Amino acid sequence: DVVMTQSPLSLPVTPGEPAAISCKSNQSLLHSNGYNYLDWYVQKPGKSPQLLIYLNSNRASGVPDRFSVSGSGTHFTLKISRVEAEDVGVYYCMQALQTPPTFGGGTKVEIK
Amino acid sequence: QAQLVQSGAEVKKPGASVKVSCKASGYTFTNYGISWVRQAPGQGLEWLGWNGPHNGNRDYAQKFQGRVTMTTDTSTSTAYMELRSLRSDDTAVYYCAGRVLYGMDVWGQGTTVTVSS
């Protein structure tokens, strides 16, 4: 199975400041079609996970443009340009290139 | 509005089986099937498998092969996940997740399964 590693485990942030979460895979997620098969999910407190970003850089419906992803192959970074209080939660990256899909361990974003 | 509604919490003894349901509404359920993901207490997310919309295709994580069965009743837009030979480490919240546009973009509210003697 593809191993996904996220860092940091916890990310205290000040509202209005940027934040970044790293996600690494032990195999390239770049498909021959040019897409990186990497998705991001966020689980807000007490809620089910929800899709945030798909195919590396596409924001899901309703996701604000302060969320972006950079990287390709085995190393990716989720960036929040200006953190807002509603962004608190646990962020997971997930590779969708191979079965089974595998998730990173999660990064908890909290407000300072 | 796409929605998945799951069955209620379950408490089971070790060795028993549990069957969780997931009813879809507001989107074409039969397009892409349903995935199942679980989350043990305080832990991350683990994919159990996927069942296609017409029961013809399914894919289970190797870890659960032989213990899990996923089915779909298209007449009621309901997916089911049965897990057998339950152990204490199967205690988790089980989620169903579907696809409207891409990936797992609609999730159920979760079903808590507690395995305890």
Q: What is the mean pLDDT of residues A51-71?
A: 95
Indicate the SS3 state at residue A17.
coil
With beta carbons less than 8 A apart as the criterion, state whether A38 and A93 touch: yes
User: Mean pLDDT for chain A?
Assistant: 97
Test A100 with B62 for CB contact under 8 angstroms.
yes
User: Mean pLDDT for chain B?
Assistant: 94
Q: Which of B44, B59, B108 sits opposite A92 (nearest CB)?
A: B44
Test B37 with A49 for CB contact under 8 angstroms.
yes
- Using a CB-CB cut-off of 8 Å, the residues of chain A touching B97 are 49
- Give the chain A residue whose CA is nearest to the CA of B96: A48
- A-facing residues of B in 44-83 (CB < 8 A) are 44-47, 49, 59, 61-62
pLDDT tens-digit series, residues B87-105: 999 999 999 999 998 989 9
**Other Cβ atoms within 10 Å of A35 Cβ, number:** 17
Sequence-distant (6+) residues with CB within 8 A of B40 are: B46, B89, B91, B92
Sheet containing strand B18-25, edge to edge, reads B3-6, B18-25, B78-83, B68-73
The answer to whether residue B29 scores a pLDDT higher than 80 is no
Spatial separation of the C-alpha atoms in residues A108 and A10, rounded to whole Å: 5
Spatial separation of the C-alpha atoms in residues A93 and A39, rounded to whole Å: 6
Test A54 with B102 for CB contact under 8 angstroms.
yes
Q: How many angstroms separate the CA of residue B90 from the nearest CA in chain A?
A: 18
Q: What is the mean pLDDT of residues A5-30?
A: 97
Test A49 with B95 for CB contact under 8 angstroms.
yes
The answer to whether residue A62 scores a pLDDT higher than 90 is yes
Indicate the SS3 state at residue B64.
helix
- Tokens representing B6 are 């799951």
Spatial separation of the C-alpha atoms in residues B89 and B73, rounded to whole Å: 29
* Strand spans (E) along B1-117: 3-6, 10-12, 18-25, 34-39, 46-51, 58-60, 68-73, 78-83, 92-98, 106-107, 111-115
pLDDT at position B53: 75
**Other Cβ atoms within 10 Å of B50 Cβ, number:** 23
The answer to whether residue A75 scores a pLDDT higher than 80 is yes
* A87 DSSP 8-state letter: G
Q: Which of A39, A48, A60 sits opposite B108 (nearest CB)?
A: A48
Q: Which of B45, B49, B102 sits opposite A103 (nearest CB)?
A: B45
pLDDT tens-digit series, residues B34-56: 999 999 999 999 999 999 877 67
pLDDT at position B49: 96
- Using a CB-CB cut-off of 8 Å, the residues of chain A touching B105 are 50-51, 54, 60-61
Question: Would the CA dihedral through A45, A50, A55, A59 be positive or negative?
Answer: negative
pLDDT at position B55: 64
Among A94-98, B56-60, B110-114, whose mean pLDDT is lowest?
Answer: B56-60
Q: Which of B61, B102, B109 sits opposite A48 (nearest CB)?
A: B109
With beta carbons less than 8 A apart as the criterion, state whether A63 and A40 touch: no
Q: What is the mean pLDDT of residues B10-29?
A: 95
- Using a CB-CB cut-off of 8 Å, the residues of chain B touching A103 are 44-47
The closest of A51, A66, A28, A102 to B45, measured between CA atoms, is A102
Q: What is the mean pLDDT of residues A31-54?
A: 97
CA-to-CA separations, A108 to A43, A54, A57, A68, A83, in angstroms, rounded: 9, 20, 21, 17, 13
pLDDT at position A9: 98
